[in-house]
Structure formats: structure tokens, C-alpha cells
Amino acid sequence: MPHAEHGTSRHSHGGPVEIRRGVYYKNLWLRIGNGPADARYMDSAIAGKLLLVDVKGEVKEFSGGNVHGSYGVNFAMPDEGFYNIYLVNESIRDGLRQINVAKSEVLKHSCREGHDHVKPLMAPRQLDTIPLEIVRERFPAENFHTLFGYGDTITFLVLRQGVPLAGAEVTLHTGRGWRNTVHTDAEGRASFMMIRDYYPPWHEFERRHRQDYVVSAVYASDASGETAAGRYTATRYVSTLNGSYYPSERDYRSYAYGLLLGTFALAFTGIAVYLYRRRRQRRFHEVRFDEKN
């Protein structure tokens, strides 16, 4: 489960980054556990293949290491858009082949680069060589600034070697430990409505409070075979993808108060002008002088 908050220097859309000579660098750390609530950082490297797919779709294999005290990766993000990072780990124990895929989708965006180029960069990408991959589908009008909130439904596509996989078990883990498990439909899709997971006192409420989630997909295969690590009679695939969501605007925005204030200002100004005009009206007043006086 890659994680992206652990000693940073700058913030851009897509999370904190380091900037060296004008180029954005991202730090990601690997965490292991049952969800964001109890996952721990890794002290040492984990065997596996690290792949980076950049904005142009080029695939690079690279290695991780000690990043600010924990095992992680550091990579450059020279172009605007989404970068996919995969860690594929494989082992065989007691004839069971276990393939773990940790994926993270990282956005690099700075408003200084403008927003005209965003649309073609929004489409999610997949890597067909990945044994089991989770892809988050985009919202219809999603852009680099779109934040998901409570009540939004996020759809994930589960792919087995690039092909949609039906019947895979998909579990969403929220930051406080809530879980929900569903199975992918015939097109390999699984959807979750995000639940509220943030209950601070009113005065401590932050509308940009980031809540992490991890979605995992599990798929088992009975196919037997042999690899360099040995023979196996069954395979279990586990894939994870992390993300974040935010408080919903519905939680802190009020139409009632807004319209009340607007209507009050409108009515008050209208009545004030009306009364002002009435007060300044001078009725015709005839004064008669009696010549006798």
C-alpha cells in the first residue's frame, strides 16, 4: 500500500512533492497492514519489481530504497498528468503462489501550467502485463481539481492481465477502519459509495481534510504450474490501489442561510429605497394669506 505523506517540502495538486531545479519529485512509501488505520511503514526493502508508467505511457523499471527513514521510492514527475507506480511481489509457499500488486496513481499538476491541456490527460491508464490491476474510473467531468466527497460513488475496474475480471472480491478500507466488500460485475466493475469518516468538533472542521482509502481486489486461480521459485498448484492474486477523499460540500454549505441573507439584503435595500423616496416626497401645500391680517 503506497503512501504519500511522510516528510515533504511542497504541496501541489496530487499531494506533497519536492521540487529540485524546477522538477517535481514524489516520495512514496510502502505500508503493510489491513488498511490505512493500522498499516505500518516498512523498514527494509521488499522483494519485487517496481514499475513506473509516466504520463506518455512509457514503462520504466526502477528500484526503491530508504526514503527519509522508511522503505519507499522517489521519482521525477517532469510532465503534467498521472503517473502509475506498481510494486509486483511474487512468492510460493506450500504450493500456493501468491502474487501481490501494490499500485498508486499519482497526479502532478500545478495551476501555473494552465488548465487547457487537462482533458486528454484525464483518462486512466492500465498496464496489461500486471497480473491483477485496479483502475479507478473517472467521473464524467473530472479534472485535476476534482475532489471526491462523502456520498460520491467511485467505480473501480479490476483487470486480469489487462482483461476485465468478473467475480473478483473487492474491498474498500477507509481511514478509520470501515470496510465494504463487493464483487465485480460481468464487466469487471465494482462501485462504492464513500461514507462519512470524519467527525471533528465544529471549530476544528477542515473542508480539505484528506481521508485515505485503500481498495483491494482478490482473485484465486486453481491453475497449476512452475516458476523459477518452484511448483505451485494454485495462485492467489491480491492487488491494492490507494486514494483519498474529502468532506462533502453538503456537510458545510447551507443554501438556507445563503438565501436567507441574500433575500434579507435585497428586501432591506428595496424597502430602504422605497421609504427614503416616500420621506422625500413633498405634498403640495397651499398657503393662503388673509389680506386683512
Partner 1 sequence: MKRIRDAVNGVDLRRFRFWLQLFFFVLLVYGGYMAVNLGQYLPTFACGFNDEGRGGICYLLPLQHQLAMSWGTLFGWAGLMVLQGFLFFALWFFVLNKGWCGYVCPLGTIQDWITSLRTRLGIRYSRYTEGQFRRLSLIKYLLLALMILIPLGIGGALLPHDMGTPFCDICPGRMIIPMFTGDFSQLTIDFSSKTTMVMTALGMLVTGLFLAGAFFKKRFFCFFCPMSALHYLLSKPALLKLKKDGAKCTRCGDCYRVCDMEIREIADEVKEPRIMQDDCILCLKCVAHCPEQGALKATFAGIPIFESTEQGFIKRMTKGHKDEQHHE
Per CB under 8 A, residues contacting partner 1 are 111-112, 114, 116, 141, 202-203, 205-207, 247, 249, 252-255, 257-259, 261-270, 273
Beta carbon of residue 193, minimum distance to partner 1 (angstroms, whole number): 20
Instruction: Report in angstroms the alpha-carbon separations of 102 from 54, 132, 196.
Output: 17, 10, 25
| Residue with Cβ nearer partner 1 (219 or 246) | 246
Beta carbon of residue 283, minimum distance to partner 1 (angstroms, whole number): 17
Q: Identify each DSSP E strand in 47-195 by its residue range.
A: 49-53, 59-62, 65-67, 70-77, 81-93, 96-108, 133-136, 153-160, 163-164, 169-174, 179-183, 189-193
Beta carbon of residue 198, minimum distance to partner 1 (angstroms, whole number): 12
| Residue with Cβ nearer partner 1 (33 or 270) | 270
| Residue with Cβ nearer partner 1 (83 or 246) | 246
| Residue with Cβ nearer partner 1 (257 or 289) | 257
| Residue with Cβ nearer partner 1 (44 or 281) | 281
Beta carbon of residue 232, minimum distance to partner 1 (angstroms, whole number): 52
Is the CB of residue 83 less than 8 Å from the CB of residue 125? Answer: no
Helix (H, G, I), strand (E, B) or coil at 18: strand
> Rounded to the nearest 5°, which phi and psi values hold at 201?
-60, 150
Is the CB of residue 125 less than 8 Å from the CB of residue 177? Answer: no
Beta carbon of residue 274, minimum distance to partner 1 (angstroms, whole number): 9
